Each structure stands twice: as C-alpha cells, then as structure tokens.
A and B are shown apart, each in its own frame.
Chain A
Amino acid sequence: MLTLARQSLLEPAGIGDAELMRLIGRLTTGGVDYGDLYFQYSRSESWSLEESKVKSGSHSIELGVGLRAVAGEKTGFAYSDEIILPTLLEAAGAARAIAHQNAPANMPAAFHGETGRQLYRPADPLASLADDAKVKLLERVEQEARAQDPRVKQVMASLASTHESILVVRSDGVISGDVRPLVRLSVTVIVESNGRRESGSAGGGGRFGYDYFNQQDRALDYAREAVRQALVNLEAVDAPAGTMAVVLGPGWPGILLHEAIGHGLEGDFNRKGTSAFAGRIGQRVASEQCTVVDNGTIPDRRGSLNVDDEGTPTQNNVLIENGVLKGYMQDTMNARLMKVAPTGNGRRESYAHLPMPRMTNTYMLNGKFDPKEIIGTVSKGLYAVNFGGGQVDITSGKFVFSASEAYLIENGKITRPVKGATLIGNGPDVLTRVSMVGNDLELDPGVGTCGKEGQSVPVGVGQPTLKIDGLTVGGTQA
C-alpha cells in the first residue's frame, strides 16, 4: 500500500525523502510538538438512471496536501491543491504560525515506512467494469424493479465509486500509506396506488470493485428490496406517538449505536468535557447484555481502513463491554492530551480538512435471544427495521433516528405497518433499558455516511435484534 501510494503521490511531483524532511523542518520550527503532511489523490465517478435511462454521469479528480502543526492544544493548518515544493513550503509556514517560540524544528532522524496490511484490494474500482456494462447494470436494476409490481411508477438508481490514495508523513518519522477503493449502488422507487404515493430505497457497497453487484444477484436484490419497502409503506397507517417498547431489527437499525453512544465516545468531546459521557469510563452505561465495538479492521467493509488518516493502523476497539464503558475513540492529538494510546480513529474528509476522532464500523455483539422470542414479549410497541438518518446533541445526550419501515407489535405479534417516524432518546441511559439482545447480528449493507463538523466520511453500523423497554416514538397518533 505504502509503495503504491508513494508512486502515485510523490514520484510525479519529484518529492523524495530530502524534500519531505525540508517540509517537516519548516512545519515544526518554533515550538511545534507534532506535524504531519497528508497527501491525497482521488478519482471518483457516478452514473445515474431515471425514467429508464442513464441520463448523466460525472467524473472528478481531487489532488492536494494538508499540512498540520500541533503545539499543545493549538492546531495550525493550511493546504494546497498543488503538489509543488515552493507552494508546500509556503503552506507549511502558514500552518506553523500558531507557534511562536524560538525553538528548533522537531525533526526525525530518518523516515520509516509502515508496510501495513491489506484489508481490501487496492485495485481501481472505476476500471473494474467497462462503461457500457455500468450503464447496463443500472438498466437491469431498473427493469427488475419495474417487473416486481405494476404500481412502480419511478425508479432512480445510481452507481458510484472512488479510488483514493493517501500518504501520511509525520514528524515522528512515520510514513504510512493506503489505497482505498469504495463503490456504492443505490435504488429508490416511487410506487402509486389509488392516488397515494410512497417511496422505498435500498443499496449496498464496500471497498471492492463493481463486480460485487453482479455476484449473487445483489444489484437485483436491492431493486426488489426497494420495491418491497415502498409497497409496505403504501399500506402504512399513522405511527403512534409516545413512549413505548421498541424492538429494533438487525443491521441498519444499528444507527441507534452510532447516534446514541458513538459520537458521545469520540475523544475530542471527552477531552473537552463537552460530551454527556465525559469522565464515565468504568461506569455502567448499558444493560449487561450490551457489548459494543468500533471495528475498523473488517475486510472489505465501507467503514474499514488499513490505516486511519494519521497513519495509525485501525483496531477493533471495545467501547462498551457487558454494559460498562471501556474506552473512547481517539486520534493522535486527543490521545496525547488525554494520555492514552491512539485507537486508529483519526479521520478526515480530505486533505482540505483537519482530522478528528471518527467512527469506523460500530456495532453491538450478539446476545442470546431468538428474535421471534423478543417480539413475543411485547404486548404493545413498535418494531422498526429500516432507518434513514439520525443526529445527536452530544452535550445533552439527546439523539434521534428516523424509521423508514416500521410495524406495530400487538400482543406479541407484528400486525400493521406504520408510517415513518422519528425516535428520540437520551444516549447515556437508552442502552440501560435494553432488556433483550438477539442472536442475529447483521452489519448494514454498506451505504452509510457520517457527518461531523461539516466533514463526511463513510462508516458502517450493525446490531442484532434488540428490545428497548421505553423509547419515545414521534408519530402523530397521540
């Protein structure tokens, strides 16, 4: 990975170890504790279909270098979209202007590369299928969706991929690289019956080539799944309003963990004491049945990375073990300030953004209950299986996530579908009310994107079926 990244990023610009040393020298002069250079080159494409035609496609190239200088809790940052030594030296000067001491540069004796591992193949996904085959794939998805039911009125489908090479050069001498493929296929359908219209969406993806979608009929499955959801919604009645037992299905509903506890356990908020979870390591924050991890090392997953955007290898980090809070997710700066080890969670949207602690693939481990048994215990409640987005206020701990497919549970049985509704809860105590955890862990299909402070990064979530004894459901039927 490192060799590939160096070849694509440094060699064309004629930048070798001597030039890197000069840049690190400029960046860390004047009392800078730590500095790094982040080289990035990425190519992306997307193709989209609507009204039975692939009408548009786009291609983009992004290239640049981010230069960061850290002194204590201060960070100076500048970037350049040209990999040219004089421009980079100027940016290094701007970034280190936060430091004002008369101190020498903080330079390594030599650089040493970390070869690292390979959780995914570095091959270019844009080239993994011929352009006409990409168009045909979307057309097949569309035809499959329409063939499901005459009530399907519109089909929108898109296919997208990115091929990104990154190289991190650090003032402690570490050089680390990664080559990251990412593909995604999404389908949305609109169905209509007796003047009522509803929609359904499905999709998937990960860090591999487009051939994934042609294997095991996956692309066609997305089409069928989107139609199924939309048709369910055609029958949906108004959702209930109020606090009730909620059973969440496996997979995507794991967005609960991402919002309710994930963001609150990111190191920056905890170092600053602005998170509702600050200072709570070792305390019980969930029922004993709950063990939650953030795992950046699962092969081929959308949220996985060989190394994070600071060159730290990703890990399988235990966040909550049998209900007890074990640890936070850290980047290098917050780890240093909190005197703990980095956890491989330092991520950034691009060279033009500063890294910060972010999630990778966040999920709850299996419990012991059969999902049917869990539903059987609910006399009146909600069963939610698909979700759109979510959001959290990390300070008050209040979080929401919005169901796009849900059913009423009456006397232990799933009865009628209900319209989408937002669920709201309090992060630090919602998991204490988890009374049953299923044995059917699933990860999401690979389309999740997380936003924080204006930066988007690909992530994953997952969980087994679980039951929360009381959660507020924001329907209209009071």
Chain B
Amino acid sequence: MSTTTVATRPAVADRNSRERLAGVVGQVLAEAKKSGATAAEAGVNISQGLSVTVRLGEVETVEHTRDKGMGVSVYFGHRTGSASTTDFSEHALRETVRAACTIAKFTAEDDCAGLADPDRLAKDIPDLDLHHPWNPGTDRAIELARVAEDAARNQDKRIANSEGGSLTTHEGLEVYGNSHGFLGTVANTRYSLSVSVIAQDESGMQRDFWYTVARASDALESPESVGQTAARRSLWRLGSRKLATRQCPVLYEAPLASSLLSHFVSAVRGTSLYRQASFLLDALGQPVFADFVRIHEQPHLKGAQGSAAFDSEGVATQPRDLIRDGILQGYVLDSYSARKLKMQTTGNAGGVHNLTIDPGKDDLAALMKRMHTGLLVTELIGFGVNTVTGDYSRGAAGFWVENGEIQYPVEEITVAGNLKDMFRRIVAVGSDIDTRGNIRSGSILIENMTVAGS
C-alpha cells in the first residue's frame, strides 16, 4: 500500500480552542442575561478523532470524526428551558438562547429548578491526567488494527471469518460555565483497539470480541494480545448447547458484572427515587448488598475512564462510599433531584464517577472452584430489567461448570431473579477487576438464580 497523507489537524485542546470555547460560553451566558433570564448555564464541546477498521486483512473503513455542540439552559425564576445547536455562529448562538427562553415561557414553576448552589461548585480543579494527545495517522492506525486482527486469525484454523479489527482515537475539549461565575474546562483523550472474530466448526458459528481502552495510547493492551483474546473467546463458544431449566449458582464474568452495579445505580438515582420508580425506595441505612460488600466512587483516580473533578453542573466531586458493610450510605443525586428529596447533591449530575466494588482475593478460576457447580455467564443480551420492581430476566451465554471446572459452553438460556435478592445473595467478588469502564468490578458470584432453557 502506498503512503496516505492526511493533513494533521492541530490538537483540539490547545490554548486557542480553550479560549474560543470559553468565549462561546461567555457569549451565551451574556445573551441569556440580556434576554431577561435570572440564571443560565452552558456547556460547549468540540472533539475530533479517527476510526479505522481492517477486515480480513484489508482496509474496510476509514472515518474522520469531528464534532461540536453547545447546550444551554435558562432559568426565569423557577421556570426553565433548554436548547442546543451544532452551529457556533453568533447568529445561531443567539437563536439557540432565544429558543430556550421561548420554552421557559411555557414550562411550569418548579421550586427545585435552578443552578447548583454556589457553595457546592468546584473551586480547585485538579489535573486528573485525562489528556494525552496522540495522532497515529491513518497508516499507523490501519497497521495496529491489522496486527490485532491478524493475531486473532492466525490463532486457529477455526477462526473462519471476521468482523474486523478497529482502532479508534478521540480527543475532546469541554467547557462548562454558569451565571454563578463558574467556568470549568476538561480536555480528554480516549483510544480503543478492538477485534471481533468468528469461529466455525461443524456445530456452527460463534462470534466474540475483546477490546482495550485507555486515556493514553501507551496504556493500551498490545494488539497481539487483544486479537488472541478475541480468538480464544470465540473458539471457547463452539459447540454451545442449551441447558435444562434449573436453579443454580451464577457467576458473572467481570466484564458483565459491572452491569449488575449499573442496575444498582439506576435504582438509587435521584430521578428514580422521587418518581417512586425504584425497587430501592427508602433504603438508606438499610442492608442492600451482602454484608461484606463495599461500593464506592473514586472520581479523582488519575487517567481512569470515569474521572471528573466536577460534574455536569460544576459541582465538586468527592470520593465516597455508596455501600459499606452491605448497607446503603447514599444516593446518586444532582441538584434538582436532591432538592426534590430535601437532600444535598452528591455531585452526580451526569452520572457516577469510577464506581468500584471492592475486589476479593479469588481470581475467576478460584471463584469457579468456590461455586463448584453452576453457570458462568460470559454474555448477556436484551433489556429485561425492571427498575421499579427489581425483576430481572436476561438472555445469557457462557459455560456450565462442575467440580469447579468448565464442562461445556451453553447458549439460548436466560438467567432470572429479583435484583433485591441477587444483591443480598452475592457470595464473592473476584480480584479480576475490569477497569475499562466507568463501573469497575471483578467477577461476581451469586448464590442462586433461575436458569431457563430446554
């Protein structure tokens, strides 16, 4: 292949961009004030990146991404309206503020509406090591994706087909400001490398994947290792069978165990609570998880996926326990839902920050030994989770385990229970913590669930 030259764009988060975005925020807030708003807040972001996919050794797609957006909320006393645009021209910004103000004429008075309280806004903004610009160029990006895919395809003859290897880069700059005088800027980068391949034998086709993600390119797993893991996972699944319907222990592999914690977060989010749409209403101070479980937020971890010094309202984030000794210590609140519940914001406008369940001592193999006989789940599909009742029923694939050893792969089954019981019946949390996402968990073993199959 000959050399590709694409003009290398300057970094998104240079001083020039920072000043320009801060200028946009200032302009929008001034326009809101001029329109009679008693308060306003605005967020502006720009980003750029590259996404390449190599499939069966050939370039499949090369995508150049470049996005920007501005969102504003205005308050007229206790009435509010919001609007957003991708156009930063002076005219468009003015029109967008006007659209938000028009909406605020028709929305109802709401005592809880408004900016975050000034004393909660972040004052010192630590550097959380989230910005590591790297521009591999198209050729290098293609090479990395190809090496990763090759590693998977060369692993075994039964790797018969591929959905490709992909490398994605992202650099973004976000500026948030409000009429209390807060102005915060965050620059971040994110790189990911993934491979998805298909294993095939006389029993049929199975697909699985693996990925690595990091704020800095040198923190990515090697392309060879990503490809080999993807291949291994696809091969493992060949010859999957159905299980007969039964009750048994269920072990969630770490990359999926985080989904259980995300259901917990949905249930203790302020919006679910004041709407009475949660199975954990009035659970503060009550046992929610097994007694040994601790779940906490670590917003200031350096270089992690969910790190943030302030939330999307400018409120300072703080490390804190949500669950200690199995007992619920706090909710997940923004200013609005906190006021609704007559509480204080927990700095979670926009979500949680590096929510972590404390790891135990056992790795996955030791957890299987501990389970002895049961289901290891490595894939979940569908959306069968009811936050109002806690009822849980999802499609699953994985492995049947006896005497602590994998016996055979299984598919076309469901795992079901109620999250209230499942949380209380956690027997162990693995040491194999997956740090690729905003929710960090090791594998989780649950004492008993219903598995439906043939």
Task: List chain A positions with a Cβ less than 8 A from chain B.
Answer: 45, 47, 50, 53-64, 73-82, 90-91, 93-95, 97-98, 100, 131-132, 134-135, 153-154, 156, 190, 192, 197-199, 239, 241-243, 272-274, 276, 352, 354, 388-393, 395-396, 398-402, 419-422, 424-426, 472-478
Contact = CB atoms under 8 A, between A and B. Distances in A.
Contacts of A400: 381-382, 384, 394-395, 414
B222 interface: no
B393 A57 contact: no
Given A61-B84, A400-B384, A393 B413 contact: no
A475 B87 contact: no
B367 to A, nearest CB: 24
A389 B452 contact: no
Nearest to B340: A51
A395 B62 contact: no
Contacts of B108: 53-55, 135
Interface stretch (B116-124, B203-211, B253-261, B284-292): B203-211
Q: Which 10 A-B pairs have the closest CB atoms?
A: A474-B414, A400-B382, A400-B395, A53-B108, A395-B207, A241-B452, A422-B384, A57-B103, A402-B384, A389-B383
Contact of A94 (B6, B59, B109, B417): B6
B391 A420 contact: yes
A209 B59 CA distance: 44
Given A81-B68, A154-B275, A422-B393, A90 B7 contact: yes
A61 B1 CA distance: 41
B85 interface: yes
Contacts of B281: 197
A468 to B, nearest CB: 14
24 contacts: A50-B275, A58-B103, A77-B63, A78-B66, A90-B7, A95-B64, A135-B106, A154-B277, A190-B276, A198-B388, A199-B388, A276-B204, A352-B67, A354-B63, A388-B384, A392-B381, A395-B207, A421-B393, A422-B414, A424-B382, A472-B452, A472-B453, A478-B245, A478-B450
Contact of A474 (B65, B240, B386, B416): B416
**Interface size class, chain B:** 35 or more
Contacts of A59: 81-84, 96, 99-100, 102-103
B205 to A, nearest CB: 5
Contact of A391 (B82, B163, B395, B454): B395
B67 A472 contact: no
Interface in B43-68: 55, 58-68
Interface string B369-408: 0000000000101111010110101110100000000000
A51 to B, nearest CB: 8
B395 A424 contact: yes
B247 interface: yes
Contacts of A354: 61, 63
A198 to B, nearest CB: 6
A62 B207 CA distance: 36
A95 B451 CA distance: 49
A43 B256 CA distance: 37
Contacts of A94: 6-7, 64
Contact of B207 (A55, A198, A396, A477): A396
Interface-centre pick from B161, B395, B454 (highest chain A CB count, 10 A): B395
Contacts of A274: 161, 163, 198, 205, 207
B262 interface: no
Interface string B1-24: 110111100000000000000000
B411 A396 contact: yes
Given A390-B382, A424-B452, 9 more contacts: A58-B83, A60-B85, A74-B62, A197-B276, A197-B389, A198-B389, A352-B65, A402-B384, A421-B384
Contacts of A132: 106
A133 B403 CA distance: 66
A398 B108 CA distance: 47
Interface-centre pick from B58, B86, B415 (highest chain A CB count, 10 A): B86
A123 to B, nearest CB: 19
B44 to A, nearest CB: 13
B351 to A, nearest CB: 18
Given A55-B113, A58-B103, A81-B68, A243 B383 contact: no
Contacts of B283: none
A476 B450 contact: yes
Contacts of A242: 245, 452-454
B298 to A, nearest CB: 27
B362 to A, nearest CB: 27
Contact of A55 (B110, B393, B418): B110
